[in-house]
Chain A
Amino acid sequence: MSAPKDRVAGSRSRSRRRSGRRRLGPVLALLALAIVLGGPAFVTQLYAIGSVLGGLILLVGLGGWLFALLDLVGGLVWPVLRRTVIAAGLVRPSYYLTVLARSAWEREREGGQVVAAALALLHRSHDPALATWLEGKIQARAGSGLGSVVATGLLAASRGDRDGARDILLGVDTFDPDYAPRAARRAANDWLVADAAARGDWITVMRRGVQPGQATAYTAFLARAAARIRGEALAGEPNPTDLGLWWSWLLAPGRKAMRPLLDQARAAPRVLHQRKPPPPGPAPATVPLVDPADHADDPVAHAQALHATWLALRPKTAGQPATELEQRLSATRMQELCRAWEAAWPVAERRMRQRAAALTAQTRAEEALAAIRRAVAVELAGLARAAKLPLDGFEVEVATAAEAASELRAELLTGVEAGSEELRARTAADRRLPPAEESRAWNQFRRGYEEATLLGGLALRYLMFPQVHRDVCGYAVWLWNDRKEYGLSGPMFQWLLREAEAVGDIEAIELQRKNVGAKK
């Protein structure tokens, strides 16, 4: 099929050249006639026109060089593209024009292109065809640099999957800054701050909004306004003044939408000094949550009433944060619940025996009760985990609390071991994931491990570290050597070094110091 096409194209170009010559002939003839008739005056005019045209060409050339120089020094092209082509929602032009933004995407030009296209996609109503096109461009990239991760996160946001987008974009924090272009980190941070503000998570807005290297005028204004309204200082800067708020607002995009927030912040009093917390008074007596008098003759019903109160606060869907439970279920409340169950067991056993005999059940009452005790322990462990209660908070002398603590410990340990084993198996089988999924898988594992160390303390950390070190080190080495994913694997070595130092593993510390010292 190619030869006929070439022939057709060749004959077309020849005919174009012939028609061009035909058009040029009369023009040249007219010019010659004008010179003969006009004389020297016409030649002077022609010279003047030529000079102006030459000057213009020179100006354009110089302007181009100046623009390129300014871009090299201050990264001019990327901001201009963000305010024009990307803001207009032109996905394909954004993708191709970002080739010009060399300085903003020094090591990751292709990454910049997919991020630009994903940002443009957010500026328009979702177009599945463009999203699929962009997805193809992301997958066509061999490496999983930060650009691919950010673009995948923004693409998920464009599809309306905010939870997925948040999960992917949070992975930006774990990238080595040396391999993470600032423009990509800023784009991710803009989305994360906007998401936190939309959810009313102002603590995250204040933390991320002024983070060096990632903050933009938009995030800085939101952080300052939130700090002023909450009467708190930001990291590294005092509570903002009225003038400071005005200035931040003027620099930020979307001023009209953010005006009510500016007014609310200005109306809040400025806190010049953080108040010292008052000295702790005597611990207030914990008021029983369910009045024991309501079930005076039935400790089983009392325990179940308490249990139901806390179960009702659990998140309704998987993945939803258990903020309410976290705020309300304290260690004291957990002790109250465990003690209520402890008081219920003797009565429950007596009752089970009677009912087993009445129903002529083959299961022995003790066996049935053991299964129920286990179910209660598992649910108590689930409540404690959702409320972020550490294992130390359980009273080991209360049998129900000890069982719940044991369940929680086993659950945390099993989760980390399974995650670690999964990383090891993927490394051994050279099973590669798409760019964003690789970062997501690592972040999920890291979060699970950090949750286990937070709740389980140093004892659990000692127990988990040898396997985690072996598997994660192998995984990071695979990413570094075989896949050249320096941005992702570099921070893994740093993380392993921190963990090794925390548990005092001399051999691991030496190995990770060497790994951290190695640079491409």
Chain B
Amino acid sequence: MSQKPDDSQAMADNPFYVLGLRPDCSRVDVEREGQKLLGMLGLRLKSAATYMSPLGPRPRTEDKVRAAMAALRDHEKRLAHEFWASLPPPAAPPKPPPAPETSGPGPAPFTGAFAALGWRRS
């Protein structure tokens, strides 16, 4: 949850997505939701085990929830996290862009390629 400028997880592990909150939520909401999720994770409830981010579903852990709560208590860090949470979490993972048309595809991967040489290890 660091705020390095090259942190590629700014979107995927954004504290707002981890806690399932929107950027306009209050500090009380953060504490309440964080405690609720920690309790659910402690009970190993399946509904709390993952969260949806713009990059797709991600596993939610107690460490992530605690780090998210700590990050949102700091106003300086919260400012940047609010920016990266402008996009509402999607209901489904992003659809991959269309692939360009290519010429004739080759055969399927040949899984027996090593065995054909008599090699057991590959």
Contacts and interface: CB of A to CB of B under 8 A. Distances in A.
B96 A324 contact: yes
B120 A124 contact: yes
Contacts of B104: 229-232
A341 B54 CA distance: 16
Contact of B79 (A160, A193, A327, A359): A359
**Max count, chain A CB within 10 A of own CB: residue among B79, B80, B105, B111:** B79
B120 A327 contact: no
Interface string A169-211: 0000000000000000000001001110111101101000000
B87 interface: yes
Given A122-B121, A230-B104, A198 B109 contact: yes
Contacts of A195: 113-114, 122
Interface stretch (B5-13, B30-38, B43-51): B5-13
A160 B119 CA distance: 12
B121 A199 contact: no
Nearest to B102: A327
B54 A305 contact: yes
Given A229-B106, A304-B84, A305-B54, A361 B75 contact: yes
Given A198-B122, A312-B56, A382-B8, A355 B117 contact: no
Interface string A250-270: 001110011001001100000
B99 interface: yes
Contacts of B95: 309
Nearest to A356: B79
Interface in B8-24: 8, 10-12
Task: Report, as a range, how many residues of chain B touch the other chain.
Answer: 35 or more
A423 interface: no
A194 B122 contact: yes
A226 interface: yes
A198 B111 contact: yes
B3 to A, nearest CB: 8
Contacts of A193: 113
Contacts of B105: 230
A477 to B, nearest CB: 38
Given A304-B54, A361-B79, A264 B107 contact: yes
A199 B114 CA distance: 11
Contacts of B108: 200
A122 B116 contact: no
Given A311-B55, A312-B93, A355-B79, A261 B122 contact: no
A375 B9 CA distance: 11
A300 B99 CA distance: 26
A361 B73 CA distance: 12
A289 B98 CA distance: 9
A308 interface: yes
B83 A194 contact: no
Given A298-B86, A312-B56, A378 B5 contact: yes
Contact of B11 (A121, A162, A308, A355): A308
A99 interface: no
